[in-house]
Amino acid sequence: MEREESSQIDPSRKTLLFVYGTLLRGQRNHHFLGGSEFIAAVRTAPVYRLVSLGSFPALREAGNHSIPGELYAVSNTVLLRCDALEGHPHFYLRRHIELADGRRPVSYVLPPDRHPQARTIKHWP
């Protein structure tokens, strides 16, 4: 999967961002997406898994689940704010993922060496 670095983002365009946890509507960090355009409720391609890290979930590559979430068009400012919230690149990595419909937004993915014993869950919350 391709890694997206903050320095590679064109500030004049919107980026598609897939969210699946505390950034979802109704969740505690949704306000970080303020001013962003909600596109649709979507699912990932069935090649991921969702794990629980206690008070928040994490998306892992290499699984066989289709993860539900929401798709937003976000500005560079919002994306950088979300990077800070998600600890990119020191905790989560912002990467392109694949949706069930073939679109490839960015999302925050937990590397396999972090929390390897985390419990698999089907959705959040």
Residue 1 within a domain: no
pLDDT of residue 10: 64
Residue 95 within a domain: yes
> Which residue among 5, 37, 61, 86 is the active-site one?
86
Active site residue 86: yes
Tokens linked to 79: 């994306």
Q: What's the rounded Cα separation, in Å, for the pair 70 and 102?
A: 15
Residue 110 within a domain: yes
Q: What's the rounded Cα separation, in Å, for the pair 58 and 110?
A: 6
Residue 107 within a domain: yes
Encode pLDDT of 56-91 as tens digits: 999 999 899 999 999 999 999 999 999 999 999 999
pLDDT of residue 1: 46
Q: What's the rounded Cα separation, in Å, for the pair 4 and 50?
A: 21
Residue 86 within a domain: yes
CATH of the domain at 112: 3.10.490.10
Which domain range does residue 11 map to? Answer: 6-121
More confident of the two residues 2 and 94:
94
SS3 for 120?
A: strand
Q: Is the pLDDT assigned to residue 4 strictly greater than 70?
A: no
Q: How many domains does the chain have?
A: 1
Q: How many CB atoms lie within 10 A of CB 6?
A: 13
